[in-house]
A and B are shown apart, each in its own frame.
Chain A
């Protein structure tokens, strides 16, 4: 489903040119559960930004389900993110003024889903992540684990092809982190493609494929059998 070919991302910092990604080629099939690991500055964040359609590669191609995402303009990228990608961030990124339900509705608003249907889908999604009883709560009234589950419900709102998580348990304690990972496992079992960027070996261990980055290159790409 996803194909990177000789992807490069170069940042110009003053006089210096820094290659965050230096010729990365990678394929990810539908239904895979991939962990992207590596130290800070290895290029994994750049990869994730390009993968999620938040940034464009300097050179190389990025194909997603046959579409040449690398050549999209801003509006096409926005639509790509809306239809294809669900983001889960370390810091949850919930809008504090909105209730859990309204946060989950947000992506559907941009997708033009009618209010009635939107509400129904959002509450079903919150039920799915086990927060059916907390729909009217605001983020500040929820625990970290609950907030992250709201964020996952939001990421799933437009039925994406890919769930992209950046350190999803980084702000959670071990127990709630485990809950989130269990949820990921279920979602993957239902056929959702997941890419998780992480430092944490435990989180990476959940995935069936590990891709390691160092200095903008892939150093390691290992699949293992289902647990």
Chain B
């Protein structure tokens, strides 16, 4: 017989009981929708973590004043909040001179300060940096310029301000050339930072003022620090492949600088952004797989529902099966007809589930300002899985149908 006829038989049986067919495939609908939504959430979370970490700068090593472990205490989220104060200008110079493959070595000090301009005032982070910091953090300007090495050394009172600060102090006006007061110290705005995106770990990266390290250290945080102290050092490697080696070299140089004897613990810590990124991605991936696995269980339950109804259908249609055999259907024809019915039920459920899943993922992304990340393979995977579910759970009922004795089947009332 022609294979297309078997497809028609299966379709005819499904259409004959529309309500039952819909209810039967509901389990698969929910299962597939859940799997699609869960993977999308997982992928969205992964993208968000990745972009959050990437926004710190690529190929970056962050040196902290005291050893902090990844994931413990504040972790790398609280750089600069370390207890010991052990990093100095000398360390920066030593790294710059002794470590190879480094494109930027950027010391930083931070402070929180009230900033006033033309009557408007705003409380923000003030970062004392060097021009290298722009390179280390992959920062750009939308207008004006960065201060140069000479201005940095002299501790000139010039400032680069972030978008949020610009908006709060100057509205839509051009801040470049304007004067601002940071606490009581006057600065001249010479540049505006390009936006680094809204939040990374909930922090507004555009809510910041950058000024020469010397100026910030002596004028704004001077009393609490020795004159040559820095809070962090950002070291940017030429490329990601040598990051581990650079991290090791930085550690060695600093141990030497700090005269730490072999066997003693470091009085500083280094965080490798690549390994942090890897670790967080692995964590999110595990989380995603877990979510998808839970969702897959409902797909399984959907399959059991299909098997249940197919068994009922085989019993109900025993006489039909006997008649088909009497007019010449082979056992395989019956087997394939019922298997196709199960697969079709599951597949239709899968298609509807996919549509609901995609819509749900987009909806949730919208609600939670979450990147919508529906993986390209979600469609083929969902459909593949629903076909598989139909085959697996349709196999037994179809086999039962095909094994019927035509004489018994025809006699059944």
Contacts and interface: CB of A to CB of B under 8 A. Distances in A.
Interface of A: 49, 52, 54-55, 74-75, 78-79, 81-83, 87, 89, 93, 95, 97, 106-107, 109-112, 114, 154, 157-158
Interface stretch (B189-197, B244-252, B329-337): B329-337
A203 B328 CA distance: 27
B319 A93 contact: yes
A75 B330 CA distance: 6
A106 B319 CA distance: 15
A120 B358 CA distance: 47
A97 B320 CA distance: 10
A109 B5 contact: yes
A154 B327 contact: yes
A74 B407 contact: no
Interface in B330-351: 330-333
Contacts of A157: 327
30 contacts: A49-B407, A52-B326, A54-B406, A55-B407, A74-B330, A75-B331, A75-B332, A78-B331, A78-B333, A79-B328, A79-B330, A81-B325, A82-B327, A82-B328, A87-B326, A89-B410, A93-B410, A95-B320, A95-B323, A97-B12, A97-B13, A97-B16, A106-B324, A106-B327, A109-B1, A110-B324, A110-B329, A112-B2, A154-B327, A158-B328
Contacts of B323: 93, 95
Contact of B333 (A81, A89, A110): A110
A107 B12 CA distance: 17
B402 to A, nearest CB: 10
A110 B407 CA distance: 19
A74 B5 contact: no
Interface string B390-407: 000000000000000011
A110 B1 contact: yes
B326 A81 contact: yes
A78 B329 contact: yes
A52 B1 CA distance: 21
Interface of B: 1-2, 5, 12-13, 16, 319-320, 322-333, 406-407, 410
Contacts of A55: 407
Nearest to A94: B323
B329 to A, nearest CB: 5
Contacts of A83: 328
Contacts of B319: 93
- Chain B CB count within 10 A is highest, among A78, A106, A114, A157, for A78
Contacts of A154: 327
Contacts of A111: 1, 328
A87 B326 CA distance: 7
Contacts of B333: 78, 110
Please provide the 6 A-B residue pairs with the shortest distance between their CB atoms, ordered closest to farther: A82-B328, A107-B327, A110-B328, A78-B330, A93-B323, A112-B1
- Chain A CB count within 10 A is highest, among B322, B326, B410, for B326
A110 B331 contact: no
B328 A54 contact: no
Nearest to A93: B323
A49 B410 CA distance: 11
A217 to B, nearest CB: 22
Given A74-B330, A82-B328, 7 more contacts: A54-B325, A54-B407, A55-B407, A93-B322, A93-B323, A107-B327, A111-B1
A164 to B, nearest CB: 10
Nearest to A81: B328
A110 B375 CA distance: 43
B295 to A, nearest CB: 36
A172 to B, nearest CB: 19
Nearest to A92: B323
Nearest to A86: B327
A95 B317 CA distance: 10
Contacts of B326: 52, 54, 81, 87, 93
Contacts of A106: 324, 327
B337 to A, nearest CB: 11
A49 B2 CA distance: 28
Contacts of A87: 326-327
A112 B333 CA distance: 12
A181 B219 CA distance: 118
B186 to A, nearest CB: 90
Contacts of A74: 330-331
Contacts of A110: 1, 324, 327-329, 333
A106 B12 CA distance: 13
A109 to B, nearest CB: 5
A106 B9 CA distance: 10
Contacts of B320: 95
B313 to A, nearest CB: 12
B93 to A, nearest CB: 88
A78 B328 contact: yes
